[in-house]
Every structure is written in structure tokens, then in C-alpha cells.
Amino acid sequence: MARLLKIAFGLVLWLELQSQTKQSYFAPHYLDPKRTEKVLSILPLVDSLYHQYFVQKGFPSMAYGIVLDGQLVASKAFGMIQRSPDILSSTKALYRIASMSKSVTAMAILQLRDAGKLRLDDQASKYIPELKNNTLLTSDAPAITIRHLLNHAAGFPEDNPWGDRQLDDSNLELKALILQGTYFSNVPGIAYEYSNLGFALLGQIVEKVSGMTLESFTKRNIFQPLGMFQTEWEYFKVPAVTLVHGFRRVNNAFKEEPLLHHGSYGAMGGLFTSIEDFSKYVSLHMSAWPPRNGPENVVLKRSSLREMHRPANFSGFNPWFQYASGRPCGVVSAYNYGLGWLKDCEGREYVGHSGGLPGFGSQWRFLPEYGLGVISFANLTYAGLGGINLQILDTLINLADLQPYQLPPSDILNQRKSDLMQLLPEWSPSIVDQFSSRSGNIFSESFFPDYPIDELRKNTLASFKQIGKIKSIGELHPENQLRGTFDIIGEAGRLEVFFTLTPENPPLIQELSIDFKKE
């Protein structure tokens, strides 16, 4: 008997498994076949805006690049990268990009994490023993972790511009600083406070875990695979004719800033790169979107890249923000893994980072769902480029009427839409019974207790009466794999039908709304 029961149970389980469906996934895509053409038509205006900004700010030189769908579609440079003798800037000239370097250090950390050589929640003192000599702000403070360092949440004080002057400190000098005990402004894990020191420590962790210098590790594992063969950490390795010199304005004249060597603080801001080289790094980040099936790149898997892009540590909120056009649009910002994140009132999400050092200013930013990014460099101390880059992105999106990629509906959403249309508007008892039976059930166990059938029928018939004769049924617009909206268009208006499904296999309808929208 026991054996027969076991066989019967196995047969029931097998039948249940046969009734399950494999989840479909269709990657988002852009609907406008002319999006590239539209962007290219606006590039003369983009060039004019950048040049006006270059003249207005009085930079010695400036270079910019526009990246669309992973391709550098426009780039240009203005002004001089050196004086006496004068050398013109170019898109191959290598600027020190300051804190834009931080995401490269963060990427190295994630490469080591993905290789199983460290964990982000490891205590930083595991790799930097000198940190054990530090007394945190309170007795209940948690130990500083690698994740805290990545997110500017370790409790160190904001250290601009002090940190900028430590660029060429040796590893021994950095360790001596930590060994003597540092002061803290916050308890780890509770606040955002920008820390160059924190990223210098991340550079030390890369070197300790990999057994290589940060310079060697990033060249081998990031720059060379991406074809960034001109990018360097140490300025004397840059060919003299492409090395950008930095300047400060003193008494309306340019004074050259001495270049510091690559040292322990290089991890936070020492990288030299060009528009042409860095566009390849930007393209790598953009390639992580949208999530999809298919082969990975050799540098960092797409899920880890997206992990770098998502907000982790809240950094600010500006409800009064205005775009350069004067359009008011509040923004919220956050920080995560060497990159900043910003979301505006229109739902646009931006990812990127600014950079500033004595002699240099830089900024890059891209919109994951739009496949659009910008880069700009200048060789003037703390040159502000975030505003002009945001203006360029906003201009391109608006004038080219760019739309974010669109998610196609999953098979199960389309199926449930079809099922609903067989029920609407009468909710015929025979069809309801059919769709509520075990073999053909489309409703969750919570549905009819939440939507009593008599009330559901009455409200649905009243809604359909408002729109009059039905003219067409609109396409399904998914919010995700298990939630979506479609329209039923009538002569006197339309009905917006929203439904969401359960996590069961197969997914069942758990929520439904039918709202009248007067045209």
C-alpha cells in the first residue's frame, strides 16, 4: 500500500509539473527606427552649446563626446592642452579625469568579488589591518566594510580639497595616516559623506587581494580588454604631445598646476584618459541595459554593472531643481559603487560621476533606459561640467523626442488579457465558472473575495455604458512581467484596464481595475 501511495503521489506531482509553464522573457527595445538619425541631426546644436560653454567659462581647453547605443557618434575638442609651445586639444588628448576614476576602482573591487576573492560586507580591516587601530565614533558603531567605502558611508569626513593634494602619497604614508588613528564625522552606515580617503583604501584592498598594483590590475582586467590602450594612471607614461596640462586662473591669467604622480590616492582620482578611450568604458556600462539573455562581456558581467548603477546611499533631494531651459523638475540623488545616481520628476534616471582636481574638471553621465551618454573634460581647476552635460542630454532627448526602451508584454500577460476580454463586460456565469475551475482557473484565491461577482458585474457594465460602442482594443503596456495596462476604446471615451498577477505557476489574476477616461 505504501508503495502504491508513493507511486500515486509521484504521478500527481508529474501531472502538476506538466501543467506548469516556463516563464517567457522578451528584452526591451526602442520603438523609433529613426532615433539615431534624429540624434545626429541635432549634433550641430550640441557642438554649438559646448563651444559657447567653453568660451563663457574661459577654459584653456575642453573636449566632449556623445555616446548613443554604445557608439561614440560625436566628439570634438577646443582650445590648448599646453602652452609655450601651444598644443591644440583633441579627442585623443589625455586629461586627468579626477574622481571619475572612482568607478574604475569600484569595478576592480567587483571583479574581485565576482571571482570569489572578497565579499563586499567583509570588514575593511581584514585587508587593511591598520584600521583596527581606529576608534569609531560610538561604542555601538559597526565595523567599516568594503561596501561602506564604496558608498561613501564609512563615517570619514568629506575631504575635498584636502584629498586632492594627497594624490601622490605612497602606500606607506597612507598606512601611517590610518595607523595613527583617524577622526570620524559619522558612524559607519548611516550617512553619505564624500570620502577620497575611502577610495584610497579601496585601492589598497585591490592591491592586497590581487597581489598586483592597482595600475597593473586595471590595465590587465579593464583597459586592455576594452581597447583603452592610451589610458594611464601615471602622467609620465603619457606621450608628451597628448598629455593635457592643468591650469588655475590667477589674476585673469592661466597658471599651470604641477602634475602629481600616481600614488596611493590615485584610486580616488588619478586616471588620465581621452574622450575616445573613455567612450569605450562608457559603452561598457551602457551595455548592461536592458537586462537580457545572451553572452556576457569579458570585463564585468551585466548584473554586476547594473549593481554599480543602482542607488544605495541617499545623498540629496532638490525639489526646486530647474533644467537649463528653465523647466522646473525636482531631483533626488544617491551614490553607489563609485557612481552617482539621479532621478528627476519625469522619471528619468541618470548615472555618472564628476571629477575635479587642481588643474582639471570632468564629468560623464548616461541614461540607462535611453541608451544615451555624454562625456566632457576641461583643464581648469574644478571646472564644472555637470550642468552643461545635463543640458546636452535634456536637449537631445527633447528635440529628438527620444523615448526609453519599451518592455514587450510577456506571454502570460497577453494570455490573461485575452482571458479577461472573454469575460468583459457581462462576467457571464458560465465563463466565470469555466475560468474558475481547477483546469482552467485564471483567478487567484483572493480575487472574488476582494471583488464580489455581483458588484464586479454591475460596475463593469456601468463603465462600458459610459464609453458607448467599442471601437478597438488597445495594445497591452506592461509595467513588468506580471503587471500591465490596456485600453478599451469606445465612441465616448476609453476604459483603462489594469491587472496584476500572482507569483504562482501559472500566474493568476489577483487585482483588477477598470477606470473610465474621457477623451
User: Which tens digits make up the pLDDT trace of 55-82?
Assistant: 999 999 999 999 999 999 999 999 999 9
pLDDT at position 17, please? 47
Name the nearest CA neighbour of 389 among 21, 13, 66, 22: 66
User: CA 105, CA 420: separation in Å to the nearest integer?
Assistant: 51
| Residue 85 CB-density burial (10 A; 0-12 exposed, 13-18 middle, 19+ buried) | exposed
**Phi, psi dihedrals of residue 483, rounded to the nearest 5°:** -150, 135
Cell of 107: 569595478
| 43 three-state secondary structure | helix
Angle between helices 275-286 and 302-309 (to 10 degrees): 100
- CA distances, 327 to each of 298, 346, 388, 414, 426 (Å): 41, 11, 15, 38, 47
Q: In the prediction, which pLDDT does 8 show?
A: 52
What are the cell numbers at 303?
Answer: 548584473
For 169-227, the pLDDT digits (tens) are 999 999 999 999 999 999 999 999 999 999 999 999 999 999 999 999 999 999 999 99
Q: How far apart are CA 384 and CA 363, in angstroms?
A: 8
Kindly list the distances between the CA atom of residue 34 and the CA atoms of 139, 395, 400, 496, in Å, as whole numbers in the listed order: 60, 17, 9, 30
Pairing of strands 349-357, 493-501: unpaired
Q: Give me 472's grid cell.
A: 478597438
pTM here is 0.94
- Report how far apart the first and last C-alpha atoms of the chain are (Å, whole number): 67
pLDDT under 50 in the chain at which residues? Answer: 9-10, 12-15, 17-18
Cα–Cα nearest to 18, from 500, 439, 509, 443: 439
Of 363, 367, 365, 351, nearest in space to 400 by CA: 367
Predicted local confidence at residue 518, as pLDDT: 79
For residue 436, what pLDDT is reported? 85
* Rounded CA separation 231/217 (Å): 13
Structure confidence at residue 511 (pLDDT): 98
Classify strands 61-68 and 372-378 as parallel, antiparallel or unpaired: antiparallel
Cα separations in angstroms, 215 against 171, 260, 299, 451: 13, 15, 16, 63
As a whole number of angstroms, the distance between CA 514 and CA 496 comes to 6
Q: Report the C-alpha gap between 508 and 511 in whole angstroms.
A: 9
Quote the CA–CA distance of 330 and 338 in Å, as a whole number. Answer: 23
Provide CB contacts within 8 A for 351, sequence distance 6+. Answer: 285, 309, 339, 340, 341, 342, 365, 366, 367, 368
Return the pLDDT at 90.
98
Q: C-alpha grid cell for residue 474?
A: 488597445
